[in-house]
Amino acid sequence: MSGGPSDLERAAIRNVVRNYLRVQPDENVIVDTWAHTLPIASTVVDEVRRAGGRAFLAYEDDGAWWRAVERKQTELLGRLSDPYWAALEAADVYVMFWGPGDSARVEKVSEKRLDETTGWFDRWYRTARSTGLRGTRMDVGFVTDTRVRHWGLRERGWRQGMLQACLADPKEMAENGRRLAQALTGKKTVRITHPNGTDVEVALAGRPSRTYDGTPHPKDRAYGRYDMLANLPAGEFRVALDSKTAEGSIVATEPSYDLTWYPWQTYPGGRFTFVDGRLSSFSFEKGQTRFAKRFSSATSGKDRTGSLSVGLNPRAKHLPYADSIELGSVQLSVGSNAYLGGSNRSDLCAWISLGGSDISVDGTPIVRGGRIL
């Protein structure tokens, strides 16, 4: 990526800085980066300065980080330095890139040691919430050599897809989210159909919906501790479901993924079938045994519906791990929905994802062929 940012990188980051984060002159901006995201992080610095902001680039060296892990200093990695805390308290805006770059190596670290490296989380989010920090996590950091090989993807295409999706207009996505929220308010049943055999009916929990249009929500308590930061690219409407009502089958057109950082297991060719409100059967073309193991060890509520999401991003096209943001796409989950105000507190959250479906609410169409009406 030598020779400076591409036109696409420049345009995407400019849209992030100007229209999502709305950086103003003289605002303080922290940019957290790793080695594999340093070139695009430097583009963020450029665009912050173009907007008149003051950028502070915080660089974590992968080699030094791994050497600390090898020395069993994971607890030390979980304690940020005093100068960093001072910078955070003074910051107005925050941009984070995911790392480290060797995602396969991370998957070999025990969960306990990984948790120790993020011991700063609670204090960080308390501080960010108290100061009203406007922040985002840049999912282009998920594009790593090891993950590309693991999933059999083309790195350039995946990265460009992420950046293309960052060109979406947050106002347009917010408006589509508002229309969906209005259409679902006071309604009870949702039916999802698709030519691939999907025909499932679920019920709404009567809880407020949530729109993820890419803009941060630092002071809105309706967005949880982690949701105060936006993930980019963005574009998703989510609502909790009544965990007692579900009937029919939903068949995937896109792979499912573990809702954890690691391991990055994929489950293509998925199907969920519900009878009398319960998940009566599931199947996947690949990963069936692994998913069955996860499911069997999960807590109560694992066989009940959790949430429904509808994609809002017109620029996103078949993005691995981010297919849920594609305009009109649907995700139906089982398990936890407590983060959306629902009553399901299972430790499982798994979903089926499909594009191009039809959705009706109490018999009234709201999405047709993946197009929001």
Mean pLDDT of the chain: 93
Residue 31's pLDDT is: 98
Confirm if 190 and 332 have CB atoms less than 8 A apart: no
| Structural domains of the chain, ranges and CATH numbers in brackets | 7-165 (3.40.1830.10), 170-372 (no CATH)
Res 111: pLDDT: 86
pLDDT in tens, 297-344: 999 999 999 999 999 999 999 888 888 999 999 999 999 999 898 999
> CA 238 to CA 101: how far, in whole Å?
30
Decide if pLDDT at 259 tops 70. no
Give yes or no for residue 244 having a pLDDT over 70. yes
Inter-residue contact 312 to 235 (CB < 8 Å) = yes
CA–CA separation, 125 and 135 (whole Å): 11
The pLDDT score that the predictor gives to residue 263 is: 52
Measured distance CA(39)–CA(2) in Å, rounded: 8
Span of 183-187, 209-213, 220-224, 268-272 with lowest mean pLDDT: 220-224
Q: How many CA atoms lie within 13 A of 38 on its CB side?
A: 11
Give the mean pLDDT of 13-32: 98
Give the whole-number percent of the chain exceeding pLDDT 90: 80
- Say whether pLDDT at 1 is over 50: no
User: What is the reported pLDDT for 19?
Assistant: 97
pTM value is: 0.92
Q: What is the mean pLDDT of residues 249-261?
A: 80
Residue 146's pLDDT band, with cuts at 50, 70 and 90, is confident
Q: Residue 205 pLDDT more than 80?
A: yes
What HEC string does the chain produce?
CCCCCCHHHHHHHHHHHHHHCCCCCCCEEEEEECHHHHHHHHHHHHHHHHCCCEEEEEECCHHHHHHHHHCCCHHHHCCCCHHHHHHHHHCCEEEEECCCCCHHHHCCCCHHHHHHHCCCHHHHHHHHHHHCCEEEEEHHHHCCHHHHHHHCCCHHHHHHHHHHHCCCCHHHHHHHHHHHHHHHCCCCEEEEECCCCCEEEEEECCCCCEEECCCCCCCCCCCCCHHHCEEECCCEEEEEEEEEEEEEEEECCECEECCCCCCCCEECCCEEEEECCEEEEEECCCCHHHHHHHHHHCCCCCCCEEEEEEECECCCCCCCCCHHHECCCEEEEEECCHHHCCCCCCCCEEEEEECCCEEEECCEEEEECCEEC
pLDDT at residue 188, rounded to an integer: 93
What CA–CA distance (Å, rounded) separates 262 from 236? 22
338-364 residue pLDDT tens: 989 899 999 988 999 999 999 999 999
CA distance 329 to 60: 36
Confidence at residue 373, expressed as pLDDT on a 0 to 100 scale: 87
Which pLDDT score is estimated for 280?
97
Peptide bond into 5 cis (omega under 30): no
Q: Determine the pLDDT at residue 82.
A: 97
